[in-house]
Chain A
């Protein structure tokens, strides 16, 4: 049996918003350690991995591993029925065909139960080694969202060049070119660790979709390494994270 309780529905809403633009369905793997979800996007270009440790939850009970196939759009609709500050409890039996979501308002003046049918989804669980990336950048997540949005006006490709001097974002298109340079410093709170410079190009459309996770974290972490997928990570409070992986485009940047 699984029972997981969060004191505020808002966090779950934000998580589902961060996922549902990329994947329509996903399998939530539940164990005593917490909840994990991993899925490629519908066109199999990017990968999203969600991890919520059991400590994230006010109450967490999972005495047997269970996999829940979820339609995220439906889940999003159910969550819309709750107030952000309601407590939410997710329950499922050992061989579930459905999950129950219970919302309780403060003081339990209003309680609501919803049952959501589960799906049978075949999905491989890939082991993603978090090997040593050669570049690690932290910056305000709202700044990263803004850069991705601004760059997408210029081209569908975005080139990220990372060196000890800073990180540069470049895009070039019919309108012209755009070039944004961030240096490490205190005002914008950007930190950059570089062992080896990296320059890679990515499809801007996916980066923009990743930034749907901006409400989850004040800061975003970018990991880059030659010939490795970009990793965009948003911490979720103290015990979780959502990670997006995107393979670089295979062409030499023409900048």
Chain B
């Protein structure tokens, strides 16, 4: 049997919002260490990886490993039925063809349970090798979302250039060009506003802006985002989910000579 309980439905709502535009369906793999989800987007260009650790839940029980295939659109609809501060419990039997999602208001005056049919999804679990990245940039998640949104107006491609002086985002198109430079933050009054760059080797890579924008749907989950880059390796955009886990998006760089 599987049972997982979170104190506030809002975190689960945000997680669903972060993945449902990229994925229509996905498999939640449940084990005693937590819940993992890994799937390529519908056009097989980017990869999403979600990890929720068991110790981040108010209550977590998983006697036997379980895979639950879900329609994420339906799941998001069900989560809309919850108030943000309701606590939420997910339950499934060992050979389940449904999952139950229960919302309880404070004082349990309103208790709602929804049973959602599960799907049989064939999905390979890709092993993602640990990579020593040449550059790791941590920056405010809202700033990254804004940069991706702003640069999308100029081009469908964005170039990210990382050196020891800072990180530069560029786009060039019919309208003109845009360059946004972020310097490494010196003294940090507010940790969440810091821009921190760890660089072993400069990197310049080009990415499809559409996917970066889709990744920034995870902005509500975290104040900071981490970009990890290495030549010839997919970019990793990572949002920590406080006390619970993280969501990572992988996007291969475009294969073309940079004209910037």
Contacts and interface: CB of A to CB of B under 8 A. Distances in A.
A183 B109 contact: yes
B110 A180 contact: yes
B109 A185 contact: yes
B254 to A, nearest CB: 39
B131 interface: no
A187 B112 contact: no
B109 A188 contact: yes
A153 B115 contact: no
B110 A177 contact: no
B113 interface: yes
Contacts of B113: 178-179
Contact of B115 (A150, A176, A183): A176
B114 interface: yes
B112 A190 contact: no
A174 to B, nearest CB: 8
Contacts of A190: 109
A175 B111 contact: no
Contacts of B78: 176, 178
Interface residues of B, number: 19
Contact of B110 (A153, A176, A188): A188
B98 interface: yes
A182 B111 CA distance: 6
B105 A188 contact: yes
B81 to A, nearest CB: 4
A174 B119 CA distance: 12
B104 to A, nearest CB: 10
Interface string B103-125: 00111111111111100000000
Contact of A178 (B81, B107, B109): B81
Contacts of B117: 174-176
Interface string A124-141: 000000000000000000
Size bracket, chain A contacts? 10 to 19
B116 A175 contact: yes
A185 to B, nearest CB: 4
A179 B107 contact: no
B74 A175 contact: yes
B99 to A, nearest CB: 8
B77 interface: yes
Contact of A175 (B77, B105, B107): B77
Nearest to A181: B111
B1 to A, nearest CB: 19
B74 A185 contact: no
A181 B110 contact: yes
B244 to A, nearest CB: 25
Contact of B109 (A153, A179, A182): A182
B114 A187 contact: no
Contact of B81 (A150, A174, A182, A187): A150
Interface of A: 143, 146, 150, 153-154, 174-183, 185, 187-188, 190
Interface of B: 74, 77-78, 80-81, 98, 105-117
13 contacts: A146-B81, A175-B116, A176-B74, A176-B115, A177-B114, A178-B114, A178-B115, A179-B112, A179-B114, A180-B110, A180-B111, A187-B107, A188-B105
